[in-house]
Structure 1
Amino acid sequence: MSPFQYIDRPTPFNTKGGKTLPIFAVTPAHIETGTIDPLALDWARKSGYKADSGSVLLIPGEGGVLGGALFGLGANPSEQPYITGRLARSLPAGDWHIETAPLTAQRLGMGFGLGSYRFERYKADKGAFPTLMIPRDADAADIKRQLAGVFLARDLINTPTNDMGPNQMEAVFRALAEHYKAECSVIAGDDLLAQNFPLVHTVGRASADAPRLLEMRWGKKGHRRITLVGKGVCFDTGGLDIKPSASMLLMKKDMGGAANIMGLALMIMDAKLKVDLRVIIPVVENSISANAFRPGDIYKSRKGLTVQIDNTDAEGRLILADALAYADEEAPDLMIDMATLTGAARVALGPDLPPLFTDDEHLADDLTEASLETDDPLWRLPLYMGYDKDIRAKFADITNAPAGGMAGAITAALFLKRFVTNTRSWAHLDIYGWAPGERAHSPGGGEAQAIRALYHHIRRTVR
């Protein structure tokens, strides 16, 4: 993998023009009423084609050559707004255009683009795939930058840790900063202790790759100050509270928060939004060795709060605590953190619906609206202060792992909230970063969650 190739990555769209084959996107009603191209209709009826959601029927042309395709939207196309993603994985290689479709141009193009993603770095046969002539009334540049951000997040998560450890993540981060002429700095190893990031150092010190804090600054002073923070645990063994093997299989994705934040930063910078952007990512590998941190240890955080370690597998909130406290010192207008933080969030809302935590009612409403407008789901959960007592520790100010296991996503969010006191508006997203199976807009695997919604919100508030 080149350290940074995402914005220049070949797109699934035909940009050279020339002859393209037609796609007729249809519902069952179109077949029943005959309101499509007569030749396509005749072939559909003779073939018994029902226009089921995501189905493709190739249409012969004169002389037996391929003449086009019918694409089924099902009876309720609005239920799957990015259904055209299936086209990117169903059509034969070639150049195509949409002849008819009861979908907006933006949805059509975005769906096809999202569904075209493939992670083939480790495959010998990479194949050939279809391209689509993007509709004229779609914002092609914005679709491309959103796809670049999504694909960056997906690629980073899908890459195994032997090729995406702390060193490689730093290389990608630096390349992203260089591409957009952003300032970049890194604090690594024992320098973390010297510069007061004790929890980042504590979690990552057992790894062969030194822990580090990555920071990027871009934009112009005086514009809206936006800070993005992402959890970058490149692999999580669980530490001395080691995970069972089945729970460790997907732990290459424990840097999903960092991957998503980098994808969001790409979108913001590529759109040249009028913001004063700061990106902070603590990067570690939670490993096991003689110097690994232990259950029962107590450490002072950057903010001065002491933290009792009651489970070494609750490490993500520790590195975020130092990063959030650091970010909070500049009192940004908006701070967003993203993390693959708790299994409790998955139990509550499943893998596709990341919980949003914020005590800013206006921000909650705006992000919910942006989520609906972009079909990039999130769901607000409460920062219920009645559970704040659960993060108190017997021998320290707070514990990293409350006993009992109840309301785990909320107590984790309340833990983080302790480190955000100056920021004007803060939101925490507890994402999964993974699609367990194929969706219309995704082949499964590493996933970007909520960053299109966040980008939509930020773009709307600063342009």
Structure 2
Amino acid sequence: MSEPKDLIQPDRGQDAIAIHLVNKDGFEAFAKGLSAGQRAALAAQKFEGGGYQVGIVPEGDSWFAVGGIANPESLSSWCLAKLAEELPEGTYRLANIEAGPAMFGWITGQYRFCRYKSDDKPQGPRILLTTQVGQIDAATAEAQAECFVRDLVNTPAEDMGPAALEAECEKLAKAHKAELTVVRGDTLEQGYPMVHAVGRAAARAHAPRLMHLTWGDPSHPVLAVVGKGVCFDSGGLDIKPSSGMRLMKKDMGGAAHAIALAGLVMGARLKVRLHLLIPAVENAISGASFRPGDVLASRKGLTVEIHNTDAEGRLILGDALTRASEESPDLVVDFATLTGAARVALGPDLPAMMARRDETAEAFLAAGKANDDPPWRLPLPDAYREYLSSDVADMANASANPFAGASVAGLFLDRFVGDGIDWVHFDTFAWNPTPRPGRARGGRGLGLRAAWHAIRDRYGA
């Protein structure tokens, strides 16, 4: 696709094709203002003002577009996405309304992942003009972050392994003059033993590591952002079936969200001291694989008995959350494609969110609802902590029973976040199985905008 920054431009009176927005209730009145030929053109296209319908209307030697939406007076993120997908290359402006939040869908509606398509010929850009010049940069940054998540998640594991995630962190650090430290090898084994244990079976090219990016004034409140970077998950010795392994290139979706969020924070120059931590591994199978029944040390000093090697994401997050807690953060936010249980409970569109503090949870929920990215809060019940008990270690990494899998995983992570620290956990799918306007099949940000707006409201630009 074209660069997101080029798809929304200031309206300075340039030549542009008009877009009229109508709904079913208002279509009859709208059609009365058209000529008989124009009405016939819309009838031939079966345009009736239904949601996401697109019509082309001749007007002399030119034409204008008509889009069907639920409420033409109040736009959501996705109202213009179908128009952006289907209209011909060109420059457009809305008639009688400004795009506002729909700028996001105008950009993401033009997203395409064509890195591996040798014969792909993407359509030229559809540019939208707006007089809301002050909103362009923010809307573009959000859409660009979303497209970044999609690109990383859509990329196969061979090209998006731990080294590739490291390269993305390097680019981010360079762009914002941040500092990046990468921990590997013996230092990783000593300082982040669970990260090392999960990743040690991988080939040398995909060796485990932890990226730690820091940015901002040290006197500002510490914001820690952590992302699960399991670049491919075979399940380890508790191997997944082929159907369960098919999409496991997306198991680094949490890392993609975290890196994208860090970019938004630095781009807006929020008044925070940012710590971004990305533990990156491949959960592979070899003679070096960690085993069911093994007891792992952790950075925090807790020992963890392995009940299931396919519950590996929480292990690497445990070490990273411990490191984040050492900075006495004002807020810790983590993202992870953590449990199938969250998807069973909430489906693919609602990221599960857990939080220690009600007021923080409410702020994140409100931000998601207001920005068309609603999470759903799941509890962290103290009564379920016993599900992670072990006869031989301080705790187990998985429960023997099938109940409350998402919350139990959250309770595991909770043990590695420092006492009293404000913490929010997103169990996100990072994937869109069903294409819809503005949301192509494949990688997708889920919880990213909720977190970003809550953080921006909390710390200010």
TM-score (norm 2): 0.93
Q: Summarize deviations over 1:322-368 as a string: whole Å, max 9, x none.
A: 10011111110000011000000000101110111112011011111
1:216-255 mapped onto 2 (5 Å cutoff): 216-255=213-252
Q: Summarize deviations over 1:410-459 as a string: whole Å, max 9, x none.
A: 10000000011245300111000000011222112101111112111111
Aligned residues: 453
Deviation, structure 1 residue 10: 5.3
1:295-444 mapped onto 2 (5 Å cutoff): 295-422=292-419, 424-444=421-441
Tell me the equivalent position of 2:108.
114
Deviation, structure 1 residue 223: 1.4
> Quick one: structure 1 residues 37 and 44, their matched pair in 2 at CA, closer, same or farther if it must change by over 3 Å?
farther
Q: Summarize deviations over 1:46-100 as a string: whole Å, max 9, x none.
A: 545211110111112324xx41111111479879651211111111122211124
> Quick one: structure 1 residues 188 and 371, their matched pair in 2 at CA, closer, same or farther if it must change by over 3 Å?
same
Cα distance between partner residues in 1 of 2:69 and 2:18 = 16
- Kept after mapping to 2: 8 A contact 1:134/1:140: no
- Kept after mapping to 2: 8 A contact 1:109/1:134: no
Indicate whether 1:167 and 2:163 are aligned. yes
Tell me the equivalent position of 2:87.
91
Tell me the equivalent position of 1:286.
283
Query: Residue type of the partner of 2:55?
Result: L
Q: Summarize deviations over 1:168-202 as a string: whole Å, max 9, x none.
A: 111111111111110001001222123x2100000
Secondary structure of 1:421's counterpart equals coil
Tell me the equivalent position of 1:127.
122
* Identity in percent: 42
Indicate whether 1:141 and 2:119 are aligned. no
Indicate whether 1:205 and 2:200 are aligned. yes
- Kept after mapping to 1: 8 A contact 2:42/2:56: no
Tell me the equivalent position of 1:13.
8
Q: Summarize deviations over 1:93-113 as a string: whole Å, max 9, x none.
A: 222111245xx6322212212
Deviation, structure 1 residue 37: 5.4
- Kept after mapping to 2: 8 A contact 1:332/1:423: no
- Kept after mapping to 1: 8 A contact 2:11/2:130: no
Secondary structure of 1:377's counterpart equals coil
- Kept after mapping to 2: 8 A contact 1:335/1:423: no
> Quick one: structure 1 residues 397 and 262, their matched pair in 2 at CA, closer, same or farther if it must change by over 3 Å?
same
Cα distance between partner residues in 2 of 1:36 and 1:108 = 27
Counterpart selection for 2:256 from 256, 259, 264: 259
- Kept after mapping to 2: 8 A contact 1:165/1:285: yes
Cα distance between partner residues in 2 of 1:435 and 1:144 = 21
Q: Summarize deviations over 1:123-180 as a string: whole Å, max 9, x none.
A: 2323223423232125001011111211111110000111111111111111111111
Runs of 5+ consecutive residues of structure 1 not aligned to the other structure: none
Query: Residue type of the partner of 1:162?
Result: E
- Kept after mapping to 1: 8 A contact 2:75/2:100: no
Cα distance between partner residues in 2 of 1:235 and 1:75 = 42
Cα distance between partner residues in 2 of 1:126 and 1:322 = 44
Query: Residue type of the partner of 1:19?
Result: D
- Kept after mapping to 2: 8 A contact 1:329/1:422: no
Cα distance between partner residues in 1 of 2:211 and 2:33 = 56
- Kept after mapping to 1: 8 A contact 2:224/2:276: yes
RMSD over aligned CA atoms reads 2.2
Query: Residue type of the partner of 1:112?
Result: W
Secondary structure of 2:27's counterpart equals helix
Secondary structure of 2:398's counterpart equals coil
Secondary structure of 1:336's counterpart equals strand
Cα distance between partner residues in 2 of 1:43 and 1:411 = 59
- Kept after mapping to 1: 8 A contact 2:92/2:129: no
